[in-house]
Amino acid sequence: MIGFTPGTDRRLPAWRDVVAWFTALDAASPRVAVRTLGTTTLGRPFIAAFIGDSATIADLPRYREIQRRLADARLRAPGEVQRLVAGGKVVVLVTSSIHSTEVGGILTPMVLAERLAAGDDAESRAIRAATLVILVPSLNPDGVDIVGDWYRSTMGTPAEGTSPPWLYHKYTGHDNNRDWYFFSQVETRLTVDSLHNVWHPEVVNDIHQQGSTAARIFIPPYMDPVEPNVDPLLTAGVNALGTAMAWRMTADGFTGVSINSTYDAWTPARAYQHYHGGVRILTETASARLATPIDIPFDSLRPGRGYDSKTASWSFVAPWPGGHWGIGDIVRYQTAATWAMLASVASDRAAWLTSFATLGERAVAGRAAPGREQWPVAYVIPTAQRDPAALAILLRTLQRGQVEIHHATAPVSIGSVTWPAGSYVIPLAQPYGSFAKALLETQHYPDLHEYPGGPPKQPYDVTAHTLPLLLGVTVSAVHDAAPSFASAVIAPIPAPRLVAPGLSDHPTKRIAIYQSWSPTMDEGWTRWVFDQYRIPFTTITDRDIRAGGLRQRFDAILIPDQPARELSRGLTGSYPDSLKGGLGAEGARSLGAFVDDGGTLVALNEASDYAITALGLPVRDVLDGVADRDFYAPGSILAATLHPRSALANGMPASAAIWFEEGPAFAISDSTQATAIATYESASPLLSGWLLGGSKLAGTAALVDARRGRGHAVLFGFRPQYRGQSMATLPLLWNALLGRFDR
Ligand SMILES: [Zn+2]
Could you report the per-residue pLDDT of 216-233, keeping only the tens digit for each?
999 999 999 999 999 999
User: Mean pLDDT, to the nearest integer, of 282-311?
Assistant: 97
Give the whole-angstrom CA distance, residue 586 versus residue 146.
Answer: 31
**What is the distance in A from the centroid of ligand 1 to the CA of 141?**
14
How remote is the CA of residue 236 from the centroid of ligand 1, in Å? 24
CA angle 360, 361, 365 (to 5 degrees): 115
Whether residue 8 is predicted with pLDDT greater than 80 in this model: the reply is: yes
Q: Which residues contact 580 (CB under 8 A, 6 or more apart)?
A: 517, 570, 571, 572
Q: What is the CA(435)–ligand 1 centre distance, in A?
A: 23
pLDDT in tens, 313-363: 999 999 999 999 999 999 999 999 999 999 999 999 999 999 999 999 999
- 743 confidence band (pLDDT: 50, 70, 90): low
pLDDT tens-digit map of 392-438: 999 999 999 999 999 999 999 998 999 999 999 999 999 999 999 99
Cα–ligand 1 centroid distance for 305 (angstroms):
17
Q: What is the mean pLDDT of residues 186-190?
A: 98
Closest alpha carbon to 328 in 103, 166, 525, 503: 103
| Cα 614 to ligand 1 centre (Å) | 34
Query: What spacing in Å lies between the alpha carbon of 489 and ligand 1's midpoint?
Result: 37
pLDDT digits (tens, 9 = 90+) for 599-638: 999 999 999 999 999 999 999 999 999 999 999 999 999 9
Residue 80's Cβ-side half-sphere holds a number of Cα atoms within 13 Å equal to 15
pLDDT of the residue at 644: 84
- pLDDT one-digit tens code per residue, 495-534: 999 999 999 999 999 999 999 999 999 999 999 999 999 9
Q: How far is the CA of 102 from the centre of ligand 1 (A)?
A: 6
> Could you report the per-residue pLDDT of 731-741, keeping only the tens digit for each?
999 999 999 99
CA of 665 to the centre of ligand 1 (A): 31
Residues lining ligand 1 (ion), CB within 5 A?
99, 208
How far does the centroid of ligand 1 lie from the alpha carbon of residue 151, in Å?
18
Cis, peptide link before residue 501, omega less than 30° from 0: no
Distance 517 CA to ligand 1 centre (A): 21
Query: Checking DSSP bridges between strand 203-210 and strand 90-96, what pairing results, if any?
Result: parallel
Q: How far is the CA of 341 from the centre of ligand 1 (A)?
A: 19
Distance from residue 146's CA to the centre of ligand 1 (Å): 16
The pLDDT, as a whole number, for residue 527 is: 98
Cis, bond preceding 221 (omega within 30 deg of 0): yes
Predicted model pTM: 0.98
Do 202 and 277 form a contact (C-beta atoms < 8 A)? yes
Flag whether pLDDT at 1 surpasses 80.
no
Between the CA of 265 and the centroid of ligand 1 the distance, in Å, is 15
Report CA(286)–ligand 1 centroid distance (Å).
Answer: 11
In this predicted model, what pLDDT tens digit does every residue of 567-591 receive, in sequence order?
999 999 999 999 999 999 999 999 9
Residue 99 CA to ligand 1 center (angstroms) comes to: 5
Q: Which long-range contacts (CB under 8 A, 24 or more apart) does 620-623 make?
A: 620/666, 620/667, 620/669, 621/664, 621/665, 621/666, 622/664, 622/665, 622/666, 622/667, 622/696, 622/700, 623/663, 623/664, 623/665, 623/696
